[in-house]
Amino acid sequence: MRCSTLNLARRLASSGAPVVAVLGLAGLVGGVLVGQDGLQTVVGCGLVSDAYASRTAADWKANADHVVVAAPTSERETNREDMGEGALEYTVDRSVALRAEEVLWSAERPRQTLAEEFEMTAPGWSVYRSGTRIKKTAPSASRLETGHTYILALRWSEGQWVVLGQGAAVPFDDQVVGRGEWCGRVLSEEEVAAGERFSRKSNNSLEKTAWGQGKQVVVRELEKADAPKRQ
């Protein structure tokens, strides 16, 4: 039922149905105003779908090449896809340039060394013929926007840097874990905690452990985590 509802929501979005109606149909009223890809993301903007396990410190050590504090410095549009008909004119991703401010951890044998400046492909926009531009989001939750800082668990995959998944792109404005841009909005650590459902006893994520604290907690958790077999 959930999948069929989301598919119908996507069809309505590209056909020109009001976006609020689309979000309501998908059960996302009160979330961020997002386009088609946003329906596949975290609570508040969709469903989680991680490429690699990303919740715990052990996950990060098993799957990541580097864990860094990074800040986007610029962006440009890329991967434009034009729509032949309907209210949606085109969708586009963003190529985001980031500066690695500090490396918190690196694998003993990373797949790729990390330069001080690097690029990532991030969610962009859905652009309607009316001129309306709607933010797209991704399963990693944070869109990676200029003016903000993040802790990222990075993996070199198919010739580019990617975050492991939803738990590996952590807002880090003002050197506080969980504060900053999340799902396209600027939120406090309390608001991010609510969206990430940290209150659940089953949530044993590294992000929850470090929530509201500094990077030293992330470093500590990585140091004490068992070193699993690299994936």
| CA–CA gap between residue 209 and residue 217 (Å, rounded) | 8
Predicted pLDDT at 230: 72
| CA–CA gap between residue 32 and residue 50 (Å, rounded) | 20
| CA–CA gap between residue 53 and residue 44 (Å, rounded) | 21
pLDDT in tens, 27-62: 322 233 333 333 333 344 555 567 888 889 999 999
Domain boundaries, the chain: 52-224
Predicted pLDDT at 29: 29
Amino acid 230 reads: R
**What tokens appear for 49 in the block?**
């779908």
Predicted pLDDT at 49: 62
pLDDT band at 222 (very low <50, low <70, confident <90, very high): very high
Predicted pLDDT at 184: 87
Mean pLDDT, range 110-132, rounded to an integer: 95
Predicted pLDDT at 9: 37
Beta carbons of 107 and 230 less than 8 angstroms apart: yes
Give the whole-number percent of the chain exceeding pLDDT 90: 55
| CA–CA gap between residue 176 and residue 6 (Å, rounded) | 34
CB atoms inside a 10 Å sphere around CB 4: 8
Mean pLDDT, range 20-30, rounded to an integer: 30
